[in-house]
Structure 1
Amino acid sequence: MKILISEVIWQEGLDVLERQGYEIEYDDQLVQDRPKLLAKVKEVDALIIRNLTQVDEELLQAGSKLKVIGRLGVGLDNIEVEAAKKKGIQVVYAKNANATSVAEYVMSAVLSSNRSLDDANEDVRKGRWDRKMHTGGEVYGKTLGLVGLGEIAHRVAKRAHAFGMDVVGFDPFITEYDHVVAETGVKTKSSLDEVLAMSDFISVHVPLTPSTVSLIDSEAFQVMKSKAYVINTSRGGIVNESDLEKAISKGRIAGAYLDVFEVEPLDKDHPLLSHSNVVITPHIAGLTEESQVRTSVLVAKEVTKVLNGLPSLCVV
């Protein structure tokens, strides 16, 4: 059997596949050459991708031999999952493999927004010693609002509680007996607006779907505290970028930490880049060495299970 990998995978994942004796074609630049990708996918039994490879009807049609698609990550907005299922192609993903990395990114944003050591360091190196300017504040006693209460939110909440924060959340698919509520202690609210209104930090943890596009929009910003920070590590498009820019410009909220955007990479003239209280990173929340080893190994193992006719716990 033959496996095609069109984006970056860590060596540990390749080792898993090679030990199984599969024929592997690995080209992490293949995603940039759509005609070549469509030609090569015709001859393979499995395709392993990240978030850039568009698995649409055209690709699924070309991959007539495909049995499984492995997604090196958790987002599925670049895969037409239902269309794949209709063709008998299983889709497996890196279930929870990068959850800890994302949770740590969120807490880094929370801590940095209240007390930026980088800003203080830069100021000192310029010859200043302004202790009042860099006094900052504590996160202890502040409220963190979680939009979506899945595995990542659960891990964020555990860390936030360790810092003495109050954690509230909204998720219409979570009950009072789910572990994130019953065991982790997140206080669920009956509406998104209720969470937005009481939170000092708002962290987004929902997938990009038709119902979550522009979930955080101009109306949402009107509800928030003027000192609130928005943190988005989920997907671009969930936070309306135009509405956010207007809210920032008007001082409606204190700032934002954004790791994802509607169009990536970010255009150098994007209006949000002009705001010093908007911290922007290049889609790295889930990217740590540890998480990428876990992601690569997990997806490789689950792909081989499917190819060997075994059940996978990571099937979408």
Structure 2
Amino acid sequence: MKKIYCLNGISKYGTDLLTEDYSLTDHMEEAEGVLVRSAAMHEMELPDTLMAVARAGAGVNNIPLEKCAEEGVVVFNTPGANANGVKELAVAGLLLASRDIVGGITWCQSIKDDPNIAKTVEKGKKAFAGNEIKGKKLGVIGLGAIGAEVANAAAGLGMEVYGYDPFISVNAAWMLSRSVKHITSVDTIYQECDYITVHVPLLDSTKGMINKETMKEMKDGVVILNFARDLLVNDDDMAEALNSGKVKKYVTDFPNPKSANMAGTIVIPHLGASTEESEDNCAKMAVEQLMDYLENGNIKNSVNFPACDMGVKKSASRVAVLHRNIPNMIGQISSTLASENINISDMTNKSRDKYAYTLLDLEQKPEESVVEKLNSITGVLRVRVL
């Protein structure tokens, strides 16, 4: 019986997928798998039993990825499971920024006791007039699951859409509307677009990418939307750009003490993936990936180990070896098995940066002494027999 621990409340749409071979536990110290949403794990002790962590969402800043990798714990996330929810909010952000809808609603609330409110609003509504988004240029930086959907939706609303992503996947490219202009320089977006929305992960190379220098390139009165990560935007530079009128509106899904106090900013309380459907989809995807790894050793959407898929285990035994990406590892693994007269019927090896993963189908189950020999190979982090 494999035990799963939930660090946060996880939708039953996901946990109900667990078969009779699994049970939910209240004790992390005995768990083989952990399901998590936003709970911080950096200060937690990882039990020896722990094989995998599945994040029901895309961001993994709350998980100690390097620590997990060093202990042979695979970390999964669920990219794209909440894409539609974030896309819909980003489109709402476009509309909120193009007209002063928020200001108009606030004003109506302030005069709700006026017996002549109907006449008053007809006289005063011009103060909240705005522009239509049809025909305007939108730049989408990052064409992953969410960015591609935002680009397609905006194109469907009649916007002229420019998309930039130097690392766009084949699948994402196929999903992109042919009316979206895929450009090769982000400077084109900065220089030509009326609206700019960012949909990239937070990396050293993207932190503060919207800053004083990049905003200098932009049109006066540009609207910037951030539904990806808070730190992609330099708040001090944004406040200055809003005060000068360089940026007309800044729409962010990430309130902080600075953004919440900026004039000209629409601050949303991190609602991007806060829909019932997104939480259900993320939970389902997280549980499916966790079960496939624990049962078959397959890795899909891991953020600290390479993707690897050998399908459903049908051999007498399957051995999964998590190890460092160093020379002669495959030779040492195969020679160790050969020395014990164990035949390998199928094998695959994948690497990603410092770490690698070898999955082997064997014609017989290895003895514990063989597993100990594999574990003793320099660079091996963990060996699992399935």
Q: TM-score range by the shorter chain?
A: 0.7 to 0.9
Structure-2 residue corresponding to 1:115: 99
2:264 is the counterpart of 1:277: yes
**How far off is 1:226 after superposition?**
2.0
Q: Partners of 1:314 and 1:175 in 2: how far apart?
A: 14
Q: How does 1:190-269 map to 2 (within 5 A)?
A: 190-260=184-254, 266=256
Q: Comparing both chains, which one has the higher relative contact order based on Cα–Cα distances under 8 Å and sequence gaps of 6 or more?
A: 1
Give unmatched runs, 5+ long, in structure 1: 27-39
Pick the aligned partner of 2:40 from 53, 58, 62: 53
**How far off is 1:52 after superposition?**
3.6
Q: How does 1:1-316 map to 2 (within 5 A)?
A: 1-17=2-18, 19-25=19-25, 40-54=27-41, 56=42, 59=44, 62-125=46-109, 126=111, 127=117, 128-129=120-121, 130-174=124-168, 179=173, 183-260=177-254, 266=256, 270-316=257-303
Change (3 A) 1:251 1:183: closer
Q: Secondary structure at the match of 2:54?
A: strand
Q: In the comparison of the two structures, how many residue pairs are matched? A: 292
Structure-2 residue corresponding to 1:36: none
**How far off is 1:259 after superposition?**
0.9
Change (3 A) 1:222 1:176: farther
Residue 47 of structure 1 contacts residue 70 of structure 1 at CA under 8 Å; is this kept in 2? yes
Amino acid of the structure 2 residue aligned with 1:281: I
**How far off is 1:248 after superposition?**
1.5
Amino acid of the structure 1 residue aligned with 2:205: S
Runs of 4+ in 1 over 6 A off after TM superposition: none
Amino acid of the structure 1 residue aligned with 2:167: F
**How far off is 1:118 after superposition?**
4.2
Residues 261-308 of structure 1: per-residue CA shift (max 9 Å, x gap)? 6xxxx3xxx233233421112221111111111111221222122222
Residue 217 of structure 1 contacts residue 244 of structure 1 at CA under 8 Å; is this kept in 2? yes
Residue 77 of structure 1 contacts residue 208 of structure 1 at CA under 8 Å; is this kept in 2? no
Residues 213-260 of structure 1: per-residue CA shift (max 9 Å, x gap)? 111111112122221111111112111112112221222211111113
Amino acid of the structure 1 residue aligned with 2:217: V
Change (3 A) 1:295 1:122: same
Q: Partners of 1:124 and 1:281 in 2: how far apart?
A: 20
Residue 154 of structure 1 contacts residue 180 of structure 1 at CA under 8 Å; is this kept in 2? no
Q: In percent, how many aligned pairs have the same letter?
A: 28
Change (3 A) 1:94 1:176: closer
Which is greater in Rg? 2
Q: Secondary structure at the match of 1:24?
A: strand
Give unmatched runs, 5+ long, in structure 2: 112-116, 304-386
TM-score by length of 2: 0.69
Residue 212 of structure 1 contacts residue 238 of structure 1 at CA under 8 Å; is this kept in 2? yes
**How far off is 1:96 after superposition?**
0.9
**How far off is 1:122 after superposition?**
3.7
CA RMSD of aligned residues (A): 2.4
Change (3 A) 1:271 1:93: closer
**How far off is 1:21 after superposition?**
4.5
**How far off is 1:62 after superposition?**
2.9
**How far off is 1:43 after superposition?**
2.2
Residue 180 of structure 1 contacts residue 186 of structure 1 at CA under 8 Å; is this kept in 2? no
